[in-house]
């Protein structure tokens, strides 16, 4: 009974973000479909070869996606919302018609579309965070009583591709239960319960059976069927439905029921009765007991243990895992794997040419993680043969992980500790604050603002790069940045916005930028991970205590303010988001890290206020994402997350207006905590949502709120009429005096032409709206 190794998925974007470049070229019509396809094929071939060369036992097929793997599944199942079945001349195609969906359909669902003839925009499907990660998936939309059909053959083509290259293939498939769970019922709120989605299961299973049958006919033996929802606390109905689902899918290929992002012990009883051939558990995020797993699972099942962290970049402690696994060797079939897909880590550490080699030894990216798995597997298999575990070779390597802390500047650390341990007073109540702010800013009804970033130009990017590597001096760098800021201020004057921003030209990314300027962080050179579609981020690494040496953003924001009489909003990233979008050290708790970062951001807020900045926005788009997956752990997390936020804002005077911004997550669950943060203005993304889903805001009467009216992930430009309609709808839910108007999120991802037109339409709509409602 030899141990086998596998990963739950490889990063798809490419070492040099080749997929991103190809997608963006395709969208701007610089390359054609066959050129796009050949980039996809090359990436798959390369990634399979890298997996095989590393010596792991399977290559994973089915982890590639043009935009998102959940959307791939929707396409495969022909679950395309009816509004995208309109062809370009405006005629509706019917569901289940013989028309095949193609990659353009996929991009329309993800990014929205325009019907050529009428110029009418079709709203894209919603995008939400994939469990507690910063990866965004496209939310499947369902309608009551719908059927499915096998409509998109990409998976089968990829399987053929991999088999023809002689690989030993394991196919990855998103399981039907998780697929249903992740989707939403469209348009019919009375049907919009999780139970109603279950009513679609029998129809869905017909197609899953067909898929599995076809895979088995191709000779596929193992399918990794992903059911990450098993780590959640599911209702009895959902647990029961798992039986039906896995009974229906039994008998074609072998199924490895795959869970990740947490423990599954709360569902062990029913999981062990499902008709599958093995179970994968994430032993890094979860704390399942191997003895309990071994005792509770049928003895002929494979137990796949996720021991190499797919969410962080530190090397694994291989000797620890060897010792833990040794007692189970020979007792059942064991596979060792990554804890989850490697989608969440960068591709190759060897591309980090600027990282100090002594530091490099502490890290492992996707390829190195495959090597770790192979190494682990070898040691375990030697132990099987010799009945003795020898970890001599790896122990010394792992010692490098210990004693990470470098000499921290003591006075910074002392300041942080003092701040964290001191009490703070909440701000005055909102009514009083609002009066102070009203007399300070005298803003019009429904103020129009943006979320912070504006499109980055090639000039800005190269200035940043050259400055960083020493090819541009401070003075020349400042001139370029200031010129950009000037242009942005001027553009906002011309467009007639009410609260300005400086445009964030100095930031490559809202988290990496703060990582670059705070102590305790390390930046990578090429550590890209996919965030959504073609967009990638480069999370910084937190390797030490976080402290701040001096002001970070003050220079740019005060410069912007000096150019205009309109208030300029100082934009900072909140501590939870900085933590969630970094690769954190693992020797202290998240709570400690967040409080250290909060202390730094609080000092920045103080400095901004001292320099006359009257509106400060602290972005916390990841607040929901950091929420533990198990409800039982929510309270504790929310308590310290809210505390860290209020700890920051407690320092400002009542006439300073505090904003926060959140996006792309399900906020209903944590609305109490958002209310408890007690910011003066909250902006959220909402333009892909039906206005009904904002019902909750009616109940909560939030201090003031700006639900996004412009979908910044779509090339569509909203017309004045569309915005006016939306505003009319919104005031059914939000008192007009509390309403702000803004895009869904930062404008960095869009072109200037689109933005100018969109903001022009927004301001035009708001002006008419004010006249009507004043
Ligand atoms: N201030 C950031 C921006 O405008 C916010 C981005 C975000 O929420 N992800 O880009
Ligand atoms: Zn946002």
Ligand 1 pocket, 455 CB below 6 A? no
Does residue 572 have its Cβ closer than 6 Å to ligand 1?
A: no
What pLDDT score was predicted for residue 118?
64
**Do 521 and 582 contact (CB within 8 A), yes or no?**
yes
Q: Could you tell me if residue 720 is left (phi over 0), alpha (psi between -120 and 50 degrees) or otherwise beta?
A: alpha
Q: Indicate if 195 belongs to the active site.
A: no
Q: Is 574 in the pocket of ligand 1 (CB under 6 A)?
A: no
Residue percentage of the chain with pLDDT more than 90: 84
* pLDDT for residue 359: 83
CA 276 to each of CA 95, 144, 210, 292: distance values in angstroms, whole numbers, following the listed order: 32, 29, 17, 18
At CA 393, angle to CA 392 and CA 396, rounded to 5? 90
DSSP state of 257: E
pLDDT of residue 400: 44
CATH 3.20.20.210 range(s) for the chain read 4-79+144-402, 433-773
Specify the pLDDT at position 697.
80
Q: Are 664 and 127 in contact (CB under 8 A)?
A: yes
- pLDDT the model gives residue 406: 52
Q: Which ligand is nearest to the CA of 687?
A: 2
Contacts of 708 (CB under 8 A, 6+ apart): 663, 683, 684, 685, 686, 687, 742, 743, 744, 745
Report CA(241)–ligand 2 centroid distance (Å).
36
Question: How many Cα atoms sit within 13 Å of 74 on the Cβ side?
Answer: 30
Separation of 713 CA from ligand 2 center, angstroms?
A: 11
Residue 191's pLDDT is 52
What is the C-alpha separation between 19 and 22, in angstroms, rounded? 5
- Using CA positions, which residue lies closest to atom 5 of ligand 1? 746
Please tell me which residue, 699 or 316, carries the higher pLDDT value. Answer: 316
Measure CA 70 to chain center.
13
User: Which tokens in the block code for residue 375?
Assistant: 């190494």
Task: Report which secondary-structure segment, H or E, holds 753.
Answer: helix 752-773
- Give the architecture (CATH level 2) of 4-79+144-402: Alpha-Beta Barrel (3.20)
| Predicted TM-score of the model (pTM) | 0.94
How many angstroms does the Cα of residue 676 sit away from the middle of ligand 1? 22
Pocket test for ligand 1, best of 460, 665, 745 (most atoms within 8 A of CB): 745
Closest residue by Cα to atom 3, ligand 1, is 746
- What pLDDT score does 662 carry? 96
Which residues face 336 on adjacent strands? 5, 305
Q: How many Å apart are CA 691 and CA 377, to the nearest integer?
A: 52
- What's the CA gap between 629 and 620, in Å, rounded? 18
CB of 619 closer than 6 A to ligand 1? Answer: yes
Within 112-200, residue ranges assigned H as helices are: 154-164, 176-182, 194-198
* Averaged confidence pLDDT in the chain: 93
Other Cβ atoms less than 10 A from the Cβ of 671: the count is 14
Average pLDDT, integer, range 13-41: 98
Per-residue confidence at 189, pLDDT binned at 50, 70, 90? Answer: low
Kind of pairing, strands 302-308 and 184-185?
unpaired
* Banded model confidence at residue 113, pLDDT cuts 50, 70, 90: confident
pLDDT grade, residue 464 (50/70/90)? very high
Q: Is 612 exposed, middle or buried (0-12, 13-18, 19+ CB in 10 A)?
A: exposed
Nearest protein CA to atom 1 of ligand 1, as residue: 452
* pLDDT confidence band for 404 (50 / 70 / 90): very low
The ligand 1 atom nearest the CA atom of 452: 4
pLDDT at 695: 84
Instruction: Please give the sequence-ordered ranges of beta strands (E in DSSP) within 514-651, or none if there are none.
Output: 518-522, 529-532, 535-537, 541-548, 569-573, 615-619
Please report the beta strands in 620-676, taking only residues with DSSP state E, as ranges in sequence order: 657-662
Tokens of 540: 């910084």
User: CA nearest 214: which of 44, 76, 71?
Assistant: 76
State the Cα–Cα distance between residues 76 and 754, nearest whole angstrom: 32
Give the residue-averaged pLDDT of 478-500.
98
**Which residues fall within 8 angstroms of residue 356, CB to CB, at 6 or more apart?**
none
Q: Is 577 in the pocket of ligand 1 (CB under 6 A)?
A: no
pLDDT for the residue numbered 402: 39
Q: What is the band of 642 on the pLDDT scale with cuts at 50, 70, 90? A: very high
What are the pLDDT digits (tens) for 755-770?
A: 999 999 999 999 999 9
Token pair listed for 542: 């937190």
Q: Which ligand is nearest to the CA of 748?
A: 1
661 lines ligand 1 (CB under 6 A): yes
Distance, CA of 133 to CA of 285 (rounded, Å): 12
Residue 156 is given by DSSP the state H
Distance of CA 683 from the midpoint of ligand 2 (Å) = 9
pLDDT range class, residue 32, cuts 50, 70, 90:
very high
Is the model's pLDDT at 232 over the cut of 90? yes
Q: Find the mean pLDDT for residues 518-542.
A: 96
> If you take atom 4 of ligand 1, which residue's CA is the nearest one?
746
Q: H or E segment at 91?
A: none
d(CA 548, CA 555): 15
Q: Does ligand 1 lie within 6 Å of residue 663's CB atom? A: yes
| Cα–Cα dist 170/249, whole Å | 17
Determine the residue of 512, 712, 746 to mutate for testing ligand 1's pocket, defined as the one with the most ligand atoms within 8 A of the Cβ atom: 746
240-246: long-range pairs with CB below 8 Å, 24+: 241/177, 241/198, 241/201, 242/177, 242/270, 242/271, 242/274, 243/270, 243/273, 243/274, 244/201, 244/202, 244/205, 245/175, 245/176, 245/177, 245/201, 245/205, 245/208, 246/274, 246/275, 246/276
Task: Give the CATH fold of the 433-773 domain.
Answer: TIM Barrel (3.20.20)
Q: What is the rounded distance in angstroms from the CA atom of residue 26 to the CA atom of residue 344? A: 25
CA distance linking residue 39 with residue 85, whole number of Å: 27
The answer to which of 333-347, 412-426, 452-466, 575-589 has the lowest mean pLDDT is 412-426
Average pLDDT over residues 108-120: 81
Summarised one tens digit per residue, pLDDT across range 150-170 is: 999 999 999 999 999 999 999
Q: Which is the closest atom of ligand 1 to the Cα of 662?
A: 8
DSSP code at position 500: B
Q: Is ligand 1 within 6 A of the CB of residue 567?
A: no
Distance from residue 280's CA to the centre of ligand 2 (Å): 34
User: Stretch 462-478: mean pLDDT, rounded?
Assistant: 96
Q: What is the dihedral of CA 698, 134, 541, 650, to 10 degrees?
A: 0
Mean pLDDT on 382-398: 76
Is the CB–ligand 1 distance for residue 531 below 6 Å? no
Which of 661, 711, 747 best tests ligand 1's pocket when mutated (most atoms within 8 Å of CB)?
661
Residue 697, strand partner residues: none
Q: What is the pLDDT of residue 243?
A: 97
> 276-311 pLDDT, tens per residue?
999 999 999 999 999 999 999 999 999 999 999 999
Residue 184 has pLDDT above 90, yes or no: yes
pLDDT value of residue 380 = 96
At 606-636, the pLDDT tens digits run 999 999 999 999 999 999 999 999 999 999 9
Tens digits of per-residue pLDDT, 43-77?
999 999 999 999 999 999 999 999 999 999 999 99
pLDDT at 1: 85
Measured from the CB, is residue 748 less than 6 Å from ligand 1?
Answer: yes
Residues 527 and 593: their CA atoms lie apart, in Å, by: 21
Helix axes 634-649, 590-610, angle to 10 degrees: 20
Q: Tally Cβ neighbours within 10 Å of residue 440.
A: 16
Q: Which H or E element spans position 379?
A: helix 366-386
CA of 743 from ligand 2 middle (Å) equals: 9
Using the mean position of ligand 1's atoms as its centre, give its distance from the Cα of residue 673 in Å. 21
Q: Is 623 in the pocket of ligand 1 (CB under 6 A)?
A: no
pLDDT exceeds 50 at position 596: yes
Find out whether 198 and 238 touch, Cβ atoms under 8 Å.
Answer: yes
**Ligand (nearest to CA of 532):** 1
Cβ of 452 below 6 Å from ligand 1: yes
d(CA 436, CA 438): 6
Rg (CA), the chain: 26
CB 658 within 8 A of CB 679: yes
Q: How far is the CA of 283 from the centre of ligand 2 (A)?
A: 32
Give pLDDT tens digits for 656-706.
999 999 998 888 889 999 999 999 999 999 998 888 878 888 888 889 999
E-strand ranges in 393-550 read 518-522, 529-532, 535-537, 541-548
Regarding the beta carbon of 746 and ligand 1, being less than 6 Å apart is answered yes
Task: State the distance from the centre of ligand 1 to the C-alpha of 501, rounded, in angstroms.
Answer: 12
Catalytic-role residue among 69, 167, 280, 713 = 713
CA 204 to chain centre: 27
Across residues 504-523, what is the average pLDDT? 96
């Amino acid at each position: 009974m030899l141990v086998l190794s596998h990963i739950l998925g490889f990063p798809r974007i490419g070492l040099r973000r080749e997929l991103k470049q190809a997608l963006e070229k395709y969208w701007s019509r610089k390359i054609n479909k066959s050129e796009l396809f050949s980039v996809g094929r090359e990436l798959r071939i390369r990634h399979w070869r890298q997996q095989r060369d590393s010596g792991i036992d399977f290559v994973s097929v089915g982890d590639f996606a043009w935009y998102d793997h959940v959307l791939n599944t929707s396409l495969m199942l022909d679950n395309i919302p009816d509004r995208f079945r309109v062809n370009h001349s405006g005629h509706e195609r019917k569901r289940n018609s013989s028309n095949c969906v193609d990659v353009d359909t996929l991009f329309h669902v993800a990014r929205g579309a325009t019907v050529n003839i009428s110029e009418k925009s079709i709203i894209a499907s919603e995008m939400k965070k994939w469990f507690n990660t910063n990866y965004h998936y496209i939310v499947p939309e369902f309608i009551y009583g719908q059927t499915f059909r096998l409509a998109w053959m990409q998976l089968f083509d990829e399987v053929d591709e991999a088999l023809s290259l002689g690989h030993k293939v394991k196919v990855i498939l998103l399981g039907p239960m998780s697929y249903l769970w992740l989707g939403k019922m469209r348009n019919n709120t009375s049907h919009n319960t999780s139970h109603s989605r279950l009513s679609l299961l029998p129809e869905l299973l017909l197609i899953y059976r067909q898929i599995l049958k076809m895979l088995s006919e191709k000779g596929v033996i193992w399918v990794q069927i992903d059911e990450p929802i098993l780590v959640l606390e599911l209702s009895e109905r959902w647990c029961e439905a798992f039986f039906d689902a896995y009974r229906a899918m039994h008998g074609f290929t072998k199924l490895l029921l795959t869970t990740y992002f947490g423990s599954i012990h709360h569902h062990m009883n029913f999981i062990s009765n499902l008709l599958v051939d093995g179970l994968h558990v994430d032993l890094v995020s979860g704390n399942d007991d191997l003895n309990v797993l071994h005792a509770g699972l049928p003895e002929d099942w494979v137990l796949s243990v996720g021991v190499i962290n797919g969410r962080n970049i530190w090397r694994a402690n291989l000797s620890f895992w060897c010792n833990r696994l040794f007692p189970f060797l020979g007792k059942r079939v064991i596979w060792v794997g990554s804890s989850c897909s490697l989608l969440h880590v960068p591709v190759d550490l060897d591309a980090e040419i600027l990282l100090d080699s002594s530091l490099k030894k502490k890290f492992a990216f996707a390829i190195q993680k495959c090597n770790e798995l192979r190494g682990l597997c070898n040691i375990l298999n030697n132990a099987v043969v010799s009945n003795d575990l020898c970890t001599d070779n790896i122990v010394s390597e792992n010692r490098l992980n210990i004693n990470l802390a470098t000499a921290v500047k003591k006075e910074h650390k002392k300041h942080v500790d003092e701040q964290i341990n001191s009490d703070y007073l909440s701000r005055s109540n909102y009514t009083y604050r609002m009066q102070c702010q009203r007399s300070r800013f005298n803003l019009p009804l429904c103020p129009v603002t943006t979320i912070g970033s504006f499109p980055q130009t090639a000039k800005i990017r190269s200035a940043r790069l050259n400055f960083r590597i020493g090819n541009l001096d401070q003075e020349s760098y400042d001139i370029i940045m200031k010129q950009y800021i000037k242009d942005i201020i001027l553009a906002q004057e011309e467009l007639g916005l009410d609260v300005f921003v400086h445009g964030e030209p100095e930031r490559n990314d809202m988290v990496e930028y703060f990582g670059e300027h705070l102590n305790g962080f390390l930046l990578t050179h090429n550590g890209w991970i996919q965030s959504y579609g073609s967009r990638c981020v480069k999370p910084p690494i937190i390797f030490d205590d976080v402290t701040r040496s001096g002001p970070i953003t003050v220079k740019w924001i005060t410069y912007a303010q000096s150019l205009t009489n309109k208030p300029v909003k100082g934009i900072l990233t909140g501590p939870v988001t900085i933590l969630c979008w970094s690769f954190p050290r693992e020797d202290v708790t998240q709570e400690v890290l967040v409080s250290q970062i909060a202390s730094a951001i609080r000092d920045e807020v103080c400095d901004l206020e001292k320099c006359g900045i009257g509106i400060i926005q602290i972005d916390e788009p990841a607040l929901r994402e950091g929420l533990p997956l198990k409800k039982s752990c929510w309270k504790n997390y929310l308590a310290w997350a809210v505390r860290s936020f209020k700890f920051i804002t407690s320092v400002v005077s009542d006439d300073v207006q505090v904003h926060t911004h959140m996006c792309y997550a399900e906020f209903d669950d944590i609305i109490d905590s958002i209310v408890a943060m007690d910011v003066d203005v909250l902006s959220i993304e909402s333009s892909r949502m039906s206005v009904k889903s904002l019902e909750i805001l009616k109940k909560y009467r939030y201090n003031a709120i700006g639900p996004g009216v412009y979908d910044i992930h779509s090339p569509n430009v909203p017309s004045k009429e569309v915005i006016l309609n939306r505003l009319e709808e919104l005031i059914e839910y939000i008192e007009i005096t509390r309403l702000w108007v803004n895009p869904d999120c930062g404008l960095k991802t869009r072109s200037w032409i689109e933005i100018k037109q969109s903001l022009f339409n927004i301001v035009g709509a708001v002006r008419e709206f004010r006249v009507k409602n004043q």
